[in-house]
Chain A
Amino acid sequence: QVQLVQSGAEVRKPGASVRVSCKASGYTLISYHINWIRQAPGQGLEWMGWMDPSNGNAGSAQNFQGRVTMTRDTSISTVYMELSSLRSDDTAVYYCARGLTYWIFDVWGRGTLVTVPA
């Protein structure tokens, strides 16, 4: 079945970077965009950015510009999201989600908890 499998939980110090992976199965990675959405503890959802795995084009929300980098390895059907200059308020569950369009997310990964202690 169609699924997105994400990497495991991470703990990082303030100022460090973290890379989260998202492996697609059950469909062809390059056929759909991958989006990244995060959720701080007890809070709502926040859209971070998108990537087109077919050509590597990507875009990010204004809040994350300059701090987020999205890459892919199509040979292993995997997309990566790297967030740099981490702060304690970056502590959140990070989800990857398949984009049917720029605004419809139909398949989600289970999420990756990134913890940045204060």
Chain B
Amino acid sequence: QSALTQAASVSGSPGQSITVSCTGTSSDVGAYDYVSWYQQHPGKAPKLIIYDVSHRPSGVSERFSGSKSGNTASLTISGLQAEDEADYYCSSYTAGSTLVVFGGGTKMTVL
């Protein structure tokens, strides 16, 4: 069982906007603005797309955005494209020896 909770799957049509949620606790997501999101295509390594809740690394499309409210972080993908079909994982910093916890991942399907 993953430390952060994500829906197993989500789907949308090209051009639509979809939101992926990530729920933690007051010890991780709720305690720090240190939430990251990663995109993983089949057979590939994860790719950082959002860090510190809402910041995009250089080269990542503006269609990806992040936010947080309380213990829940969210990733929004606007203008959905076929290439966005992938697994998305959230992560958060947490106190203690286990510094980082991940969500179980959300499989995003473009219809």
Which A residues are closer than 8 A to B by beta carbons? Answer: 35, 37, 44-47, 50, 59-63, 65, 95, 97, 100-106, 108-111
Contacts and interface: CB of A to CB of B under 8 A. Distances in A.
B39 to A, nearest CB: 11
Contacts of B38: 45, 105
Given A103-B92, A104-B52, A106-B57, A47 B45 contact: no
A72 to B, nearest CB: 19
Given A44-B105, A45-B91, A106-B57, A95 B45 contact: yes
B101 A104 contact: no
A44 B2 contact: yes
B97 A59 contact: yes
Q: In which size bucket is the chain B interface? A: 20 to 34
Nearest to B55: A104
Given A44-B2, A44-B105, A45-B38, A106 B100 contact: no
Given A44-B103, A46-B102, A102-B100, 18 more contacts: A45-B89, A45-B105, A47-B100, A47-B102, A50-B99, A59-B99, A60-B97, A61-B97, A61-B98, A62-B96, A101-B34, A103-B99, A104-B34, A104-B48, A105-B46, A106-B48, A106-B57, A108-B46
Contacts, number: 66
A9 to B, nearest CB: 14
17 contacts: A37-B102, A44-B2, A47-B99, A47-B100, A50-B99, A59-B97, A61-B99, A65-B97, A95-B45, A102-B99, A103-B36, A104-B51, A104-B52, A106-B51, A108-B45, A108-B46, A108-B47
